[in-house]
Amino acid sequence: APAPAPAPAPTVPEPAPTGEGPPRVAADGGAKPVLPPTVAYVAGLMPLSTTGVGEFLRAHPAYDGRGVLIAILDSGIDAGAPGLVVTSTGAPKVLDLRDFSGEGRVALVPVEPAGDGRVMVGGRLLRGAGRIARLATSGRWYAGTFRELPLGRPPAADLNGNGTNTDEYPVIVVRATDGWAAFLDSNLDGSFEDEMPLHDYRQGRETLALGTEPITLAANLEESDRGPVLDLYFDTSGHGTHVAGIAAGFNLYDVQGFHGVAPGAQLIGLKIANNARGGVTVHGSMVRAMEYAARFAQRRGLPLVLNLSFGVGNEREGRAVIDSIVNAFIAAHPSVVFAISAGNDGPGLSTVGFPGSADLAITVGATYPGVFARPPEPGGTPPADRLGFWSARGGELLKPDVVVPGIAFSTVPRWNLGEEVKLGTSMAAPHVSGLAACLLSAMAQEGRRVSGADIAQALAASARRFTGATVLDQGAGVPQLTAAYEWLVAGHQGSRYLVRTASGASAAFRHSGALSEGDTLEVFRVSHAAGLRAAQYLLRPLVPWLSAPDLLPAAPGVTEIPVVRRPGRAPPGPGVQVGTILAFNPNDTLAGPLFRLVTAVIVAHDLDDRPFAEPRRVVPAGGVQRYFFQVDRPDATLEAAVTLADSTRERALLKLYEPGGRPFRGGAERTVGEDDGGTARFVVRSEDLVPGVYELDVVARPLEPVTVAVRVERSPVGLAVTAGDLEATNHGSATARGPLRASLLGAQATFAVDAQGAPAESLVVRVPAWAASAEVEVRLPPEQWDWFTDFGVTVFDSAGHQVGHEPLNYAVGRQSVDVESPGPGAPLVVELFPAFAWADRAPPWQALVSVRFLLREPRPLSEGPDVSVVPGGRVRVPLPSPGSLPLPHGFVPLVQASLGGAVRRVTVGAGR
């Protein structure tokens, strides 16, 4: 259809990044979309023009993904959502829905129908057994109850939209002439007489909707030695449904021409996430879903694209088990294209999560389309696109591979109306999946055989780069669909190589800063993984300060390539410098690089030497200014302050990262503007400080520059704990004098968890009457973090309601919950929910869990005597008495102490 005339787009509320699992906070269940879908369509809020989708499909309307299968590994797909019903050719859009999460599992037990036409289900006698008996072909019936409460909080867990999450649906399963069939008392009237049977979704794509703003349910019914197994499939997140609409929606919201990237493609929805636990994957769910998708596509002879908008942060880049599983899967299925989101922890360096860090996957970062920054004037054009500030960046990893729009207006379940605009690299991955589907569709219709490596390299070779951004920010850049198609038609062949540094990562990431002439920065080890194998590597540096051999033979196994600092060239200056060496096949340089050798060198400000102060810095519109600080004293306190030059007009986003790229555990993000008084601060207390290089980022809004002053300093005094006392050490050059100040915060207990395998572990603590909130901190060994695909931490109150669900994104995580106690001693349950990458292995694991109950306001304690600490000196300071505070069993008082600019939380008494 012809493109509509440009029209002004109304202002769209900017959502926060959704995370790589489903959104962690449910929507409010609004009754209408955030914008009318027709307005969103005309305004271009499904931003297809960025990658040239419209231009390509106008030239090749049949190459719209038809004949290609996209597997959405996510929170589920609501098959009743408008736009996910049929393809552009009228074929069914969703071919299968499978639950690998176990969230909708209904525990079934054998039952006998009574002679009076009733049947006992969950302790209740229900009518309608006669209707079921007329369809049943076996006398053995099975019954169970499907409860809303375990599904989490409304509106998502309110399946029928009646305002509560406490409904319980009786279920009967019997064998009928056409297989197993489930009956739900969907209207809770105590009778099955008015209910229709629900078969396995593969049989006839049957679904069931409950209530007025319902969630669409589908059934998975399988045979087992003990009878039927019933999983009810649904999307109580909205995340997977939104992703599916971007990848392949057709006539979204019944608006003619409002499509996703590949409207002709078909979908299978593979649910890997337990949405009730904050959207975490479960044990082996990723692997089982991948294998199922491959079997499904192979049996039907369909080209396959996998989309995984999911991930968690890397602790040790290149060592995650799921990365090796993804690489092995792609190697075993070379025709498959696998797109994975990069993560939302940007713009800090070294923040790409796993499994987006898998070498052979297409890792997708995000752009911020200009149409979302400012609506265009009638007949005008929107502002230029920017890189998404939230999009994860490479560092130790040579990722992402490409970047595409990471925000879109797409389809959502009916309960999720009002949340049609979602933002994150979760929204970028399905854009690339749709591009891959269009290319596979084109090649299949032209009778050309292509591999996943061909598609990946075609997308990278066609990409347009953002000026001023490095390869760690954007990979190859923004793919262009027409150019990628022409690359394939030209007969180029794709290649995949594994690049490894001595640390096992895929890029060199140096924090030392100082470089000597001729210094060997890294010896890269390169091996061929898939696709065309070159006989020689032609190496071309893109920066003057790096050099490598011009031409190297490709060894049959591993080729070692030294990269050195070129003599006579200036070394990198303050901040970060990124240098790239491209490797080409000398026989086909037009195919684009075979691989990249990337070296990033950071020159950090040493805060142990002196504070850092920059009185004025202009950050351009949409830009990121990075600062790096070396802190080697683990007992010190770090404080960073950013002040706007004009807080009445300007606004900025601040991000702080710990060494290694982990977002600051005490809250990594701050906004600064008029509402914040023009200044925002990060304070890293002594107990939280990690020695190494911290990164502070200042991010300007997409259309407006910002002028800031930055000051970062380390406290001259360090605070440690020795034998129940504070130990103050003066690392400065002047004598530190002053009183010890302390406040009672509440109480803390720490529990060591030694767990066996996949089952969840729970801790029960008692809420003291004085507590206003609780803080739950979970710490895992970093080497064990590599085993998981996810780790849920869910907090329940005494009634079984969720009061918090914040899955770990790294091996250390915190969440705060309100715990207004219904009475002294009410229980609070902390559930730890591991998800191992292996489908057939769940080894023992350990965790430390700290629970802190906090007063509504800190209670000042008596001020201690003045303390004097000479440079290089050390003084032990007794902590003041915390006074009387009724404590739950196992808890000790928690005090915050400060001295000489250092701040530390300390437990007082036994059990610390």
CA distance 289 to 311: 15
- Predicted pLDDT of residue 518: 62
Mean pLDDT of the chain: 91
In this model, does residue 28 exceed pLDDT 60? no
* Torsion over CA: 342, 345, 349, 355 (sign): negative
* Mean pLDDT calculated for residue range 269-287: 94
Of the listed ranges 488-492, 751-755, 809-813, 862-866, the one predicted with least confidence = 862-866
Residue 431: CA count within 13 A, CB half-sphere:
34
Q: E strands within 257-353?
A: 266-271, 273-274, 280-281, 304-308, 337-341
The values of phi and psi at residue 361, to 5°, are: -80, 160
Most confident among 89-103, 502-516, 667-681 (mean pLDDT)? 89-103
Annotate 805-819 with b (16+ C-beta within 10 A) or e (fewer).
Answer: bbbbbbbbbbbbbeb
- Predicted pLDDT of residue 1: 34
CA distance 696 to 700: 13
- Predicted pLDDT of residue 749: 97
* Mean pLDDT calculated for residue range 84-104: 97
- On whether the CB atoms of residues 903 and 686 are closer than 8 A, the answer is yes
In this model, does residue 281 exceed pLDDT 80? yes
CA distance 638 to 694: 10
In this model, does residue 183 exceed pLDDT 90? yes
Q: What is the pLDDT of residues 61-85, one digit of tens each?
A: 999 999 999 999 999 999 989 999 9
* Mean pLDDT calculated for residue range 713-729: 90
DSSP 8-state symbol, 15:
P
In this model, does residue 8 exceed pLDDT 90? no
- Predicted pLDDT of residue 494: 95
- Predicted pLDDT of residue 801: 87
Q: Which residues pair with 559 in a beta bridge?
A: 526
Burial of 709 (0-12, 13-18, 19+ CB in 10 A): middle
Residue 654: CA count within 13 A, CB half-sphere:
24
Q: Report the candidate in 857, 856, 790, 854 with the shortest Cα–Cα distance to residue 828.
A: 854
Of the listed ranges 25-29, 190-194, 401-405, 866-870, the one predicted with least confidence = 25-29
Q: What is the pLDDT of residues 381-426, one digit of tens each?
A: 788 999 999 999 999 999 999 999 999 999 999 889 999 999 999 9
- Predicted pLDDT of residue 23: 36
Helix (H) or strand (E) segment spanning residue 552: strand 551-553
User: In this prediction, what percent of the chain has a pLDDT beyond 70?
Assistant: 94
Q: Report the candidate in 412, 405, 395, 453 with the shortest Cα–Cα distance to residue 426.
A: 405
**How, if at all, do strands 337-341 and 304-308 pair?**
parallel
In this model, does residue 22 exceed pLDDT 50? no
* Mean pLDDT calculated for residue range 284-295: 98
Q: What is the pLDDT of residues 418-469, one digit of tens each?
A: 999 999 999 999 999 999 999 999 999 999 999 999 999 999 999 999 998 9
- On whether the CB atoms of residues 897 and 741 are closer than 8 A, the answer is yes
* Torsion over CA: 251, 256, 262, 264 (sign): positive
In this model, does residue 829 exceed pLDDT 70? yes
- Predicted pLDDT of residue 24: 31
In this model, does residue 809 exceed pLDDT 90? yes
Q: What is the pLDDT of residues 687-703, one digit of tens each?
A: 999 999 999 999 999 99
Within the chain, how many helices (H) and strands (E) appear? 13, 56
The values of phi and psi at residue 733, to 5°, are: -105, 0
Helices (H), ranges, 657-816 = 782-785
Annotate 441-458 with b (16+ C-beta within 10 A) or e (fewer).
Answer: bbbbeeeeebbbbbbbbb
User: In this prediction, what percent of the chain has a pLDDT beyond 90?
Assistant: 78
Helix (H) or strand (E) segment spanning residue 39: helix 37-43
- Predicted pLDDT of residue 30: 43
pTM comes to: 0.95
